[in-house]
Amino acid sequence: MKKFIDTIKNIWAIDELKSKILVTLALLVTYRLGTHIVLPGIDPNALESLKGNAQKGLLGLFDQFAGGAFSQASILALGIMPYISASIFMQLVTILVPQFQKIQKEGESGRKKINQWTRYLTVLVTVFQAGAYITYLRGFKEAFIPAYEPFFTVSTIILLTAGTLFVMWLGEKITDKGLGNGTSLIIMVGILARLPQSFVQEFIAKNTKGGGGILVFIIEIAVLIAIIMGLIVLVQGVRKITINYAKQIVGNRQFGGARQFLPIKVNSAGVMPIIFAQAIIFIPTIFAKFDTTGGFIKILNDHSNGWYMLIYSVLVIAFTYLYTAIIFNPKQIAEDLKRNNGFIPGVKPGQPTADYIGSVMDKVTLPGALILAFVGILPGLAQGFGGVTAGFSSFFGGTSLLIMVGVILDTLQQIETHLLMRQYDGLMSGGRIQGRQPVSSSPIG
């Protein structure tokens, strides 16, 4: 306890770190307050049927990303999802279109251009999703205020678009002035806000007749804690696994007689493939105006459905490789090695080196992709075979738990970096925290 108190004092003694923490907390509180502001024309006292429908299946996951704002008909109902969808599209374009690749290589100016286009695209995506959300809301006529209905469509599109841009701005400000990745922190806070409600619902369900009673609920909590601890150990051990795995593939080699390092990790993509896969699965629901009652959309709305698990796993694995290709370019690395007179013994410079590094990266990425896919379908397994309620099951792995564990570890890692830079003790007595971000690279051999 004394060490913990001393650590808090050390954190508070660093003005820069204290400022970052306060700014982050202030912006996150602002976001949470915004999720409780109901759209004009909606009666907040008549939202029970909307909340009950919007917290199930795929819409429940959408509601988690929006921090509960979707089920509350809030001005921030669409949350950060339109921005994520636009970012996915722009990242795909930078890979597939040569002109965008050139812009991306322009450095800071190129990055600013792509970010600006992403914002414009976010507006278009938000307007489209706002139209679908309005159609969805009209299915709950008891929640409408008749006198305001003539103005509802226009005002709602404007407010939802402004709300998404505001959330996007909050995320950028947290990243710039605060602590950690703003978008990830906003999603994590939204997920954590749903946790108490999910616990209560699960407790009530287990204490009803045939629910299993308090003992089953305690066992579920114990399993959840075990999964969380297992994920923390897994994320913390990624670097060691990477080094050992890379050595088995390429041996203990050096570049041109001098020891050099490459940023090879088992899971370079972090939790982004999970977020990307979820965003893609949301798209058919949006085209169906958030109607999840029939056909293919009904399959996507059932996490315990075998087809859903298969589709979701394939998407996660595909996006793991795609996102890794975005942040780890073997061709660029091969060119840098050649430019700096570096080489891999036994491999010709240029394209053969790029092919060699690419094949190593593919083999290293596979275990991480499979682990992400398995953790992603854990909620469906918990719901289908464990009898856990839909809301509570989402915390048994999947998007919720991966984001929470990953973001919390990354944030703690940043705090620890500030402490160590100023010669304070770190947060952990047993060694440094290793988050998802590449703290140090493993050698290719």
Q: Which residue has the higher pLDDT, 159 or 399?
A: 159
Q: How far apart are CA 146 and CA 156, in angstroms?
A: 15
> What is the structure's pLDDT at 242?
54
Phi, psi of 10 (to 5 degrees): -65, -40
Range of weakest confidence among 148-157, 331-340, 430-439: 430-439
Helix (H), strand (E), coil (C) string for 219-251? HHHHHHHHHHHHHHHHHHCHHHHHHHHHHHHHC
Say if residues 236 and 434 touch (Cβ distance below 8 Å). Answer: yes
The model's pLDDT over 385-423, given as tens digits with 9 standing for 90+, comes to: 666 776 677 776 666 777 777 788 778 878 888 777 776
Task: Please provide the CATH number assigned to the domain covering 210-445.
Answer: 1.10.3370.10
Q: For 167-193, b where at least 16 C-beta lie within 10 A, e where not — what string?
A: bbebbebbbeebbbbbbbbbbbbbbbe
| 338 closest CA partner among 246, 441, 255 | 255
- Token pair 């008749």 is at which residue? 146
The model's pLDDT over 66-99, given as tens digits with 9 standing for 90+, comes to: 878 888 889 999 988 888 888 888 877 887 788 8
Residue 148 has pLDDT above 60, yes or no: yes
Residue 191 has pLDDT above 80, yes or no: yes
Mean pLDDT across the chain, nearest whole number? 77
Say if residues 290 and 133 touch (Cβ distance below 8 Å). Answer: yes
Range of weakest confidence among 102-116, 278-292, 315-329: 278-292
Residue 250 tokens read as: 């390429």
Domains 18-179 and 210-445 share a fold: yes
Residue 275 has pLDDT above 60, yes or no: yes
| 386 closest CA partner among 101, 157, 394 | 394
Q: How far apart are CA 310 and CA 206, in angstroms?
A: 29
> What is the structure's pLDDT at 445?
32
- Report residue 109 CA to chain centroid gap: 26
Helix (H), strand (E), coil (C) string for 149-204? HHHHHHHHHHHHHHHHHHHHHHHHHHHHHCCCCHHHHHHHHHHHHHHHHHHHHHHH
Residue 389 tokens read as: 């309620």
- In CATH terms, the fold of domain 18-179 is Preprotein translocase SecY subunit (1.10.3370)
Residue 168 has pLDDT above 50, yes or no: yes
What residue segments make up the domains of the chain, in order of their start?
18-179, 210-445
Say if residues 185 and 407 touch (Cβ distance below 8 Å). Answer: yes
Say if residues 264 and 361 touch (Cβ distance below 8 Å). Answer: yes
CB atoms within 10 A of CB 81: 25
